[in-house]
Structure 1
Amino acid sequence: MKANLSSQIKLDRTPKRYYRPDNAFELTALTRFEKVFTEIYESSEEGALQVAREVADLMRTREKEGRFCVLALGSGAGTHGVYRELVRMHQNEGLSFSNTIIFNVSEFFPLEADAPGTSKLLHEVLIDLIDIDPQNVYTPDGTIAKESIFDFCKDYEKKIEKLGGLDLTLVEFGPSGNLAFNEPGSQINSSTRLMLLGSESRHNFAKLFHSNEAVPHSAITMGISTLLGAKKVIVVGWGETISPYVRQAIEAPASDTVPASFLQSHKESKFVLDLSSAEHLTRLSTPWLVTSCEWDDKLIRRAIVWLCRITGKPILKLTNKDYNDNGLSELLALFGSAYNVNIKIFNDLQHTITGWPGGKPNADDTFRPERAKPYPKKVIVFSPHPDDDVISMGGTLKRLVDQHHDVHVAYETSGNIAVGDEDMMRYVMLMGGIAKDFCFDTPEFMAKHAEITKFVKEKKDGDIDTPDIRHLKTLIRQGEARTACNYIGVKPENVHFLNLPFYETGTIKKGDLTEVDRDIVKDLLEKIKPDQIFVAGDLADPHGTHRVCLDAVLAAIDDIKDEEWMKNCRIWMYRGAWAEWEIDHIEMAVPISPEELRQKRNSILKHQSQMESAPFLGDDERLFWQRAEDRNKATADLYTSLGLASYEAIEAFVEYHPLR
């Protein structure tokens, strides 16, 4: 089974010379805006492999010199790929850690003696799998008394000094540009200390502690000066979520608002990134500013939209002077005039807009995103959780139903972990209150009712819900989903709850995708044989489930892609409440009227358990319906600013083509 097909989705065809140029001269031109040496690899796996080799080479060099190699290591998920490769080298290539000393860069505070933490995590992914002397491993102590922290931190610094300082610091690029647990506001001269953590940092470790609430609010962390005191510093970063902060750290002036930007002051520091995390760097996002380009339709579209934003003009008002003044004279040479480029891109964008997401029957579909035939179509909308369908494409879903397509909605996971105990107890108390009136107050029911009530009352942070409670929370989410589908007009028999097994762990940390998950999706596809599939394409999913669900669908499609009906099926990717597709990627834009937007909001509000008390709202104080509306309105406003028709809102989609 191909379990990670989402990682092979390449929306951009990024020429390798933009990120791995052949010579130093070209590299100098490409990186003229970059203030820190930066290596970019096509994938996180490739980048982690190169970092691991660099660490191993340093260890071997120190061993030949008869010296210890002193490492400061982070425990964030971004570093785990490096550690896996180091463990492989130890097991298969004889790489020894006997001359290595490891300092853990941070630890949560306060911690119970048996609580999870960064030290235990570092042991699990690296230390317990190599031949390092336990006496050569140092870590901040999250269990010490608070009044002892100051002295402990001073002693931690002295231990590093006594060993001759750090040879290498290896940490991941944090969610807000932080290094270790040095949050925005940390100063360049900061040393090891107690730090109050931001919610994003805590959210990153929610899986380790089984819930957001259980993650400690502070940590003991090496300071910026301690980390940068190493002879060499490597910061790894993967995924598009961090890409805006990556650009600030590398191209903007150093600032305590993005602590990673302080690497600019270190001569032997570097960032190691994959293409997704580096996508906002000038050489990838606007390469025409630093080099001659290999122009294709998507890059031309991106350049023109960028030019419209720079000049404040719609597409058809751009002039030759606008192109020449902003580094796009190459396009004038290719097309002969601004007008020729303008009209091409205007028409390309115009053709993405359709009020018929399932195709318009009896119409010329030459320039439409979807085919006119067959009509009506059999459609499956895959939703990772029991609300992503209406949050992400509720307007389009309503259009498909109203235009008489046979629409099915498949909820891939139960979403039960996102139901709060208070929401569940509302139903439990209701059942207890009406049990006698409706004659189901049996001894068995009353015992179960008391057991659930007692468990919730005594529940502690990190406790896993019982199977009965998880089942109740699943039923709550299913009921809300059915209500929303009924409001939109989806037939009750067309609502499917797949409950993929990878999700059902009872904790934030999920299992791995398996063939069982894939086969559940495949069975539904083979049963319905859809003409059109919609799937969540959140490649930068904030909490992981969306990406696994996407992989489950893509793995199922890969298995049946050669079946005749599948060859004629179109697959459209939508995005969630957090972000929209970049306009250079959008291939179908579905306008939503004010009335349809109100209906979309109402359908989202049917998911009552996911309103104010939803545990995954994160730092953004807007509720899901507000995020969705703001995102859809912003897309419509962008189309309007480019000189296209003015709509209330737009939902956008990108087509997925199965790998051959």
Structure 2
Amino acid sequence: MKTNLSSQIKLDRIPRRYYDPQGEIELAALTREEKIYTRIFETATDGSEYIARQIAKVINRNVESKGKCVVTFGSGVSTHSAYAELIRLHKAGEVSFDKVVFYSLSEFFPLIANGPSTLRKMKEVLLDHIDIRPENIHTFSPDVTKEDMFQRCKAYEKAIEDDGGIDLAVCEIGAQGSLAFNEPGTPDTSLCRLVLLGNETRHNVKSDYSCEDVPTTAITLGIANLLSADRVITMAWGENRAAIVKKTVETPASANVPASFLQGHPHAKVVVDLPAAEDLTRISQPWKVTSCEWTDKLIRRAIVWLCHMTGKPILKLTDKDYNDWGLGELLALYGSAYNVNIKIFNDLQHTITGWPGGKPNADDTYRPERANPYPKRVIVFSPHPDDDVISMGGTLKRLVDQKHDVHVAYETSGNIAVGDEDMMRYFLMMDKIAPMFGFDQGGYSRLSEAVHKAVGNKQPGDMDTADIREIKTMIRQAEATIACNYIGVKPQNIHFLRLPFYETGTIKKGDLSQRDVDIVKKLLTDVKPHQIFVAGDLADPHGTHKVCTDAVLAAVDELKDEAWMNDCRIWMYRGAWAEWEIDHIEMAVPISPEELRFKRNSILKHQSQMENAPFLGDDDRLFWQRAEERNRGTAQLYQSLGLASYEAIEAFVEYHIIRD
């Protein structure tokens, strides 16, 4: 079973020389926009191996030269893969921690029993697996109080100084550019201190530590402490870190992005994978720094950028525009601006279709989907019981209205996202209805009493009982069913898969297993679809989308040799966190004002996920608001390029099965 196929989705073929240049001259040219030494690796695994070897190298060098190495390591999730590789190097005899002195980079305050602890996390992922001496592990005293905080922090800094100062600091770049718990707004002169945790940080802590009760404050080494380290290695993985990596590496240093202060450090390194590097100039706009290996997608991206810079639609771009903005190479390749313009204009025009399932009895030469077979059997896989309407509600309605046999498969129960108040609304109603109609005896009475008691006694972090989880599942299923009925999906075509990895009752989910994949395989085998729609939005802050996508792709991989798979296309949609960049879009489905209102109404059928939804992330907009603004934004971009003007557009990218 291949459990991580989503990580192999490659929307671009990035020439290796862009991210791993050979030779100092080419490196200098490619990185001239970068203000910190930055290493880009194809995968997070490759990057983690590099970091581990760098850590081992620094430790061995310092132990040899001065008898010890003083380190401070962060416990963020991004660092864990590097620590796992470091443990492997240690077990292979390539590095010893016997002479290493460890100082915690940060710690929560106050420490709560069974609550999150960075030192406990460091022991789990590194310290308990190496030969470091217990007396060489230093952290912030758990008995520190607010009254003596200043003196304790000064004493912690003095202990580091007495040990010779920090030889190596290792941490991740936070979602908003934080280092340790130094949040946006932190000056570069900040020292060890008590800090207030921002909402986004607390949100991430809740997820990373699988806890409900998150402290509002923490103790952290400051930016000045980190800048005093002899060497600093920081890292970021994944496309949801791309924007902050660009700000860290390429924009002027600012307190708004604390990690950017590393630009002033002579021996700081930023290590990222390709998805996290996708906004860096040498990856996203290589024409600014080197001669390009032009592909259709890169040309499309360059022309869209040129339209933005000049304020012109595609067909009004001139030879002068190309030359003035450094795209003269395209003129040499195509002969004139007109030739490039018409090519890209037609490419984008051909992505637009009002027939997402293919238009029957039509010439489909330049259409994103085949005309035949018609009607098609379609499965829309929805990670949570509302992602289908949030992400592609307009397209889903089109598929139904155009008489395709549409199935919707909800992969998880989504029960953890139902608040107790939303559930109790039903019980308060049923408690009055039950005696009125004479079914208040026996089972229901006992269930109601148990639920009222469990909710009344519930403490932060407590897991719902099995009965409550089942009731919350029923609420999500009822809402999804109502939304499907509203759209017109046949009742027998609504599937609740309830993949086992999700059913832990806590924020932390299990790993993808063959049981999950087999459930998806059975549905695929039963339906034998001509089209599959799957979530391609891997920026989901809790990772459920990624696991669900991996489940579908693993099932597809195991079925890829079936005859019916030869006639099946897989389309990826994105959800409420991001949208496909226009150079990747392969199918753009226009949505009229009436259809957009219909989509909003279908989202609103999920009443438990409106204002009380617990996982909105760092975006204050509700999901229907995000969806509408995202869809309108895509339509406005198409219009600005000189294409037709639509109210909104939903976008899709085709997934191509990986063949061995």
The 8 Å contact of residues 416 and 506 in structure 2, kept in 1 or not, is answered as yes
Distance 2:190 2:646 in 1: 50
1:94 and 1:328, CA in 2 relative to 1: closer, same or farther beyond 3 A?
closer
Aligned partner of 2:28 in structure 1 is 28
| 1:208 to partner: Cα distance | 4.4
Aligned partner of 2:372 in structure 1 is 373
The 8 Å contact of residues 107 and 141 in structure 1, kept in 2 or not, is answered as no
Aligned partner of 2:381 in structure 1 is 382
Aligned length: 659
Distance 1:422 1:113 in 2: 27
Distance 1:605 1:144 in 2: 48
Q: Which residue identity does 2:289 align to in structure 1?
A: V
Match of 2:72, SS state, is strand
The 8 Å contact of residues 541 and 617 in structure 2, kept in 1 or not, is answered as no
Match of 1:375, SS state, is coil
Match of 1:273, SS state, is strand
The 8 Å contact of residues 331 and 341 in structure 1, kept in 2 or not, is answered as yes
The 8 Å contact of residues 77 and 208 in structure 2, kept in 1 or not, is answered as no
Distance 2:280 2:622 in 1: 31
Deviates more, 1:129-138 or 1:632-641: 129-138
Q: Which residues in structure 2 correspond to 1:67-86 (within 5 Å)?
A: 67-86=67-86
Q: Which residue identity does 1:75 align to in structure 2?
A: S
Aligned partner of 2:583 in structure 1 is 584
Distance 1:141 1:329 in 2: 62
The 8 Å contact of residues 207 and 542 in structure 2, kept in 1 or not, is answered as no
Aligned partner of 1:224 in structure 2 is 223
Match of 2:307, SS state, is helix
Distance 2:560 2:603 in 1: 33
Aligned partner of 1:343 in structure 2 is 342
| 1:64 to partner: Cα distance | 2.4
Q: Which residue identity does 1:626 align to in structure 2?
A: Q
Match of 1:147, SS state, is coil
Distance 1:64 1:117 in 2: 33
Match of 1:65, SS state, is helix
Match of 1:179, SS state, is coil
Aligned partner of 2:19 in structure 1 is 19
Aligned partner of 1:484 in structure 2 is 483
- Pairwise CA RMSD: 1.1
| 1:94 to partner: Cα distance | 5.6
Match of 2:651, SS state, is strand
1:428 and 1:141, CA in 2 relative to 1: closer, same or farther beyond 3 A?
farther
The 8 Å contact of residues 187 and 256 in structure 1, kept in 2 or not, is answered as yes
Aligned partner of 1:97 in structure 2 is 97
| 1:439 to partner: Cα distance | 2.5
| 1:66 to partner: Cα distance | 5.0
Distance 2:208 2:461 in 1: 10
Aligned partner of 1:297 in structure 2 is 296
The 8 Å contact of residues 108 and 220 in structure 1, kept in 2 or not, is answered as yes
| 1:15 to partner: Cα distance | 0.3
Deviates more, 1:519-528 or 1:96-105: 96-105
Q: Which residue identity does 2:440 align to in structure 1?
A: D
Distance 2:618 2:48 in 1: 29
Distance 1:516 1:98 in 2: 43
1:141 and 1:465, CA in 2 relative to 1: closer, same or farther beyond 3 A?
farther
Q: Which residue identity does 1:80 align to in structure 2?
A: H
Match of 1:29, SS state, is helix
List runs of 5+ in structure 1 lacking aligned partners: none
| 1:14 to partner: Cα distance | 0.4
Aligned partner of 1:512 in structure 2 is 511
Q: Which residue identity does 2:87 align to in structure 1?
A: V
1:243 matched to 2:246? The reply is: no
Distance 1:484 1:15 in 2: 45
Q: CA offsets, 1:114-167, max 9 Å, x none?
A: 423211111111111111111111122455322222222111111110100001
Match of 1:33, SS state, is coil
Aligned partner of 1:327 in structure 2 is 326
Match of 1:103, SS state, is strand
Aligned partner of 2:136 in structure 1 is 136
1:118 matched to 2:118? The reply is: yes
Q: Which residue identity does 1:396 align to in structure 2?
A: T
Match of 1:146, SS state, is coil
Aligned partner of 2:259 in structure 1 is 260
Q: CA offsets, 1:10-35, max 9 Å, x none?
A: 10100010010010000000111111
Q: CA offsets, 1:461-483, max 9 Å, x none?
A: 11111111111110000000000
Q: Which residue identity does 2:553 align to in structure 1?
A: L
Q: Which residue identity does 1:573 align to in structure 2?
A: M
Q: Which residue identity does 1:163 align to in structure 2?
A: D
Q: Which residue identity does 1:109 align to in structure 2?
A: F
Q: Which residue identity does 1:197 align to in structure 2?
A: L
Deviates more, 1:428-437 or 1:626-635: 428-437
Q: Which residue identity does 2:634 align to in structure 1?
A: T
Distance 2:458 2:498 in 1: 25
1:206 matched to 2:206? The reply is: yes
Aligned partner of 2:61 in structure 1 is 61
Aligned partner of 2:471 in structure 1 is 472
If the length of structure 2 is used for normalisation, what is the TM-score? 0.98
Distance 2:503 2:129 in 1: 29
1:397 and 1:143, CA in 2 relative to 1: closer, same or farther beyond 3 A?
farther
Match of 1:235, SS state, is strand
Q: CA offsets, 1:196-249, max 9 Å, x none?
A: 1112111212134435x5211111111001111110001111111121111111
1:650 and 1:67, CA in 2 relative to 1: closer, same or farther beyond 3 A?
same
Q: Which residues in structure 2 correspond to 1:278-297 (within 5 Å)?
A: 278-297=277-296
Aligned partner of 2:542 in structure 1 is 543
Identity of aligned residues (%): 66
Q: CA offsets, 1:404-427, max 9 Å, x none?
A: 000000000000111011101111
Q: Which residue identity does 1:53 align to in structure 2?
A: R
Distance 2:206 2:29 in 1: 42
If the length of structure 1 is used for normalisation, what is the TM-score? 0.98
| 1:652 to partner: Cα distance | 0.1
Aligned partner of 2:363 in structure 1 is 364
The 8 Å contact of residues 109 and 143 in structure 1, kept in 2 or not, is answered as no
| 1:62 to partner: Cα distance | 2.5
Q: Which residue identity does 1:26 align to in structure 2?
A: E
| 1:92 to partner: Cα distance | 3.2
Aligned partner of 2:610 in structure 1 is 611
Aligned partner of 1:157 in structure 2 is 157
Q: CA offsets, 1:594-613, max 9 Å, x none?
A: 00000000000000000001
